[in-house]
Chains A and B, each alone.
Chain A
């Protein structure tokens, strides 16, 4: 199997081979064959009487020591994964909530509120009165509402309840899956999956859905609060892939997830251009993004994206990355070892996220600018030790048009119809110029040729006039391969889609159509797509599970992806996953996730590893929805 479709990644893998550097691909090869019990999800380590395994061929153990069946074990493992994903997004969101509270109460001068309009819109949606109040007051109330959303209370999680249709709320109430607290939901999952608590697989899965809805809330909160603190994204031009590294600049990589760190570095970087030049970097400081934090600063500041996910190590292997600063999530521990083979300084910043071998500079809201400067200076120092012999910057980079927040999309549509911006979108869907919408999300996965599933599916769907949205490392895949461009629309879009994107492109003043895929932001920004869907649903007077909208994580990897996929299903979307999740050890769980859940929530999982088949199945799902709407 080829490791990657990305030319820059390929070039760097050759360099890695020459220099005998191990990458995720090498380590994965040593890991195979992986344990079949783990692959099937039928290994349980929840108590000290284990580890228990269920023999899938029925001859050995058919029950765990405590009597848990394969169905129970698989369901427990799956919902714990959802809880872990939820905890990650929850951590991201609460960090922003604390920062907003500090900002509102004058304890974080480095974090002024940038988007008051967004602040008021969010407040209004939460039912907070904004008339006659100072910005700081509104911000405080929003932050306190946010913080309350994490723990024990008797009201639904506000960021979930206020961000979906009424129909969804009623469905969630009907099946008892409304979370009352984000952390409460996570904690409930850990409790019910403990030894000797919930053994009913369907009950467990419903508990997982409740937790996934808490994840949705955490994501939506993350999006809202980041927009409030750092600005709501607007269309922006930039570039992507390793070619964005500059031989004559201090290259600093921003990796991880939170704009609390990355946005500050962006703000400080050019203050230190002079020091960089003094150190010999004629082009000053060059910031590049990786993974979701890269998406955050791309969307807001046009910072170019170096690479994503499975190829994150390759940025260091260019020999031109002087520092990589990270916060939390999706940061491979191998980066530290790899950095030691080069001059690169790996800098961790969060108290809960350290890596042996890295330099730790504790970053807090109170000392943000100071810490950011210190970090950039470490990069400048490192630049002096760069070994020109080891520099191999591949030339590949693609143009990128990103920044499609909900507001930006609605803004573009309003140029076609000022009073009713959703009308042109809905009309084109009804007319069939847009068959439906597909949201691409998720990661790369080392077991899939990098980006292969994303690219194949996108091209198949675009040909069928499906409007494509993307977030996270999925958007990153499209960015690196030039699909976030007008040229890609011209090359791959079906006629109907092309016409719509051309009209929109013209309206916003582009020389060509809008890009083939609309980059909506980081993984928490998947909730932006939900916002658009909710708006359309409300306008049409139907619920989300009737819309011709589907989702796909063709190369999913993380527990966060499992959580997001689950809330997409709960929201009513047919949701494709391109790798096999560890659930096939229980035919009951597999059936519930792919069939039974459809009759409860309208959405369902589709697992298909072949991208062409997957695209066809998504088109069929879209057509089924259209038929249901009578269009």
Chain B
């Protein structure tokens, strides 16, 4: 299963990912039209300022998922890709999932009183946030290859240090 990885040193805090996420979850799929839709499209990832770093907080599609366990209305389920999805029409807006998500990445849509979370853009090959990131701080790939890239880079650092 492909994962969403974050390279913290690359994040510029430009929030292009947030705009792209909202637009991808709008009806019009166009920034200029999306901003006047009702309900207002919501982005599902968040950029926060840590200590000297910008930290994108995204849904980790945890397994087991605290949100999935916590949902008292059976409105969350895991799809074939392993992504935790909201079932249309089942959410009652109790916010238990918001209370339980350790990353704080479940949101509230006030217009329809339902919870909103990352669905990993099921209609796109690559999630909208990843496509939008101008510094490629967000990576969509298999854990193995991402790990391999880190190992290579670390090996390079070590080798240079040894010289």
Q: CB–CB under 8 A between A and B in the complex?
A: yes
The stretch that binds B, out of A50-58, A71-79, A432-440, is A50-58
Our pick among A33, A59, A60 for the contact of B132 (Cβ within 8 Å) is A33
* Chain A 28-68 interface mask (CB, 8 Å, partner B; 1/0): 00000101110110000000000001011111100000000
Please give, as numbers and ranges, the residues of chain A lying within 8 Å of B14 by CB-CB distance.
35, 37
Between B16, B19, B20, the greatest number of chain A beta carbons within 10 A of the residue's beta carbon is seen for: B19
Chain B interface size band reads 20 to 34
Our pick among B23, B43, B131, B134 for the contact of A59 (Cβ within 8 Å) is B43
Please give, as numbers and ranges, the residues of chain A lying within 8 Å of B15 by CB-CB distance.
37, 53, 55, 60
* In the complex with contacts A33-B131, A587-B36, A57-B43 CB distance below 8 A: yes
Contact B36 A57 (CB under 8 A): no
Contact A57 B41 (CB under 8 A): yes
Contact B40 A36 (CB under 8 A): no
Contact B36 A37 (CB under 8 A): no
A129 within 8 A of B: no
Which A residues between 176 and 221 are near B, CB-CB below 8 angstroms?
A: none
Closest chain B residue, CB of each to CB of A56:
B35
Which B residues between 40 and 79 are near A, CB-CB below 8 angstroms?
A: 40-43
Query: How long is the Cα–Cα vector from A57 to B132 in the complex, in angstroms?
Result: 17
Closest chain A residue, CB of each to CB of B47:
A60
Contact B19 A36 (CB under 8 A): yes
B22 within 8 A of A: yes
* In the complex with contacts A33-B131, A36-B31, A584-B32, A57-B16 CB distance below 8 A: no
Closest chain A residue, CB of each to CB of B31:
A36
Closest chain B residue, CB of each to CB of A58:
B40
Query: How long is the Cα–Cα vector from A53 to B41 in the complex, in angstroms?
Result: 18
A580 within 8 A of B: yes
* In the complex with contacts A33-B131, A587-B36, A39-B31 CB distance below 8 A: yes
B154: min CB distance to chain A, Å: 28
Contact B35 A35 (CB under 8 A): no
* In the complex with contacts A57-B42, A59-B43, A37-B32 CB distance below 8 A: no
Please give, as numbers and ranges, the residues of chain A lying within 8 Å of B41 by CB-CB distance.
57
A44: min CB distance to chain B, Å: 14
Query: How long is the Cα–Cα vector from A584 to B35 in the complex, in angstroms?
Result: 9
Please give, as numbers and ranges, the residues of chain B lying within 8 Å of A53 by CB-CB distance.
15
Please give, as numbers and ranges, the residues of chain A lying within 8 Å of B43 by CB-CB distance.
57, 59
Our pick among A35, A56, A58, A60 for the contact of B16 (Cβ within 8 Å) is A35
Query: How long is the Cα–Cα vector from A200 to B43 in the complex, in angstroms?
Result: 30
Please give, as numbers and ranges, the residues of chain B lying within 8 Å of A39 by CB-CB distance.
31-32
Known: A33-B131, A584-B35. 19 other contacts (CB 8 A): A33-B16, A33-B132, A37-B14, A37-B19, A39-B32, A40-B32, A56-B19, A56-B35, A57-B19, A57-B22, A57-B35, A57-B40, A57-B43, A58-B40, A59-B43, A60-B18, A580-B32, A585-B35, A587-B36
Chain A residues packing against B (C-beta within 8 Å) = 33, 35-37, 39-40, 53, 55-60, 580, 584-585, 587
10 A-B pairs whose Cβ atoms sit less than 8 Å apart in the complex: A33-B16, A33-B132, A36-B23, A36-B31, A40-B32, A56-B35, A57-B35, A57-B43, A60-B15, A60-B18
| 10 A-B pairs closest in CB distance | A36-B19, A56-B35, A584-B32, A57-B22, A36-B31, A33-B132, A57-B40, A58-B40, A35-B16, A57-B41
